[in-house]
Amino acid sequence: NEVVNIHLSKKPEWFLEKINPLGKVPAIQKDDKIVYESAVCCDYLDQVYPGNKLIPDDPYQQARDRILVEHFGQVTTQYYKMLFGPSENCAAAAETLKKGLMEFDKEIQKRGDFFGGSEPRMIDFMVWPWFERFHATEKLVNQIFISDGSMPNLTAYMDRMLSVPAVQKCRLSTENHLEFYQSVKNGAPNYNVGL
């Protein structure tokens, strides 16, 4: 298999024409089969490569995981407001973000070492990319929403996730994230950071 990275603010014509007319990433092509939308890609891969099933078999647990992802949408909304919204709203967005994360601090206490339970599962890999950026974000916007020690369960979770081999293989460092967001703020996003 081959990974093709594209320029996200100047998407190539072939991507829109042959892969995803909606323009979003990620997208998967295997022979003549094309799949896109993050959640759909995750479910599809889990079904066609069943070696290490990452999505629960139990319908209710499956539903609860998808609902948790929906709740996480409240976190990501505040995240973007904080980074790209008017700067006078930044502190309020950080506060709301923190309140949203508190819910996850409680949730992981109920669930175990990971949101998936005793092992990291799909739900963890779906929310992790946001956690990975939090330290860079705190520096960039000069707001503290996770490093003040008020969410010990989530902090321990982040440490645990950093030791997961799949995370180590794919992660970008805080420096990478800082470099990327700086390039966005300068009006010339550098999508090659960390590649």
Query: Which residues lie near a copy of itself (CB under 8 A)?
Result: 21-22, 33, 35-37, 39-41, 43-44, 47-48, 59-60, 62-64, 66-67, 70-71, 74
How far is the C-alpha of 143 from the C-alpha of 173, rounded, in Å? 19
Nearer to a copy of itself, 38 or 176 (CB): 38
How near is the Cβ of 99 to a copy of itself at its closest, in Å? 12
**Pair 85, 142: CB distance under 8 Å:** no
Shortest separation between residue 46's beta carbon and a copy of itself, angstroms: 9
In whole angstroms, give the CA distance from residue 145 to residue 82.
Answer: 11
Residue with Cβ nearer a copy of itself (26 or 194): 26
- Under 8 Å between Cβ of 65 and 50: no
The least CB distance from residue 181 to a copy of itself, in Å, is: 27
User: CB of residue 53 vs a copy of itself: minimum separation in angstroms?
Assistant: 13
The 8 Å CB, 24+ separation contacts for 172-181 are 172/132, 174/135, 174/136, 174/139, 175/136, 177/132, 177/133, 177/135, 177/136, 177/137, 178/136, 178/139, 178/140, 181/83, 181/136, 181/137, 181/140
Residue 67 CB, nearest distance to a copy of itself (Å)?
Answer: 6
Q: Are 138 and 146 contacting, i.e. CB atoms less than 8 angstroms apart?
A: yes
Distance CA 109, CA 70 (A): 19
Nearer to a copy of itself among residue 65 and residue 132 (C-beta): 65
- Of the pair 3, 22, the CB lying nearest a copy of itself is at 22
In the numeric block, the tokens 């590649």 are attached to 195
Residue closer to a copy of itself, measured from CB, 37 or 95: 37
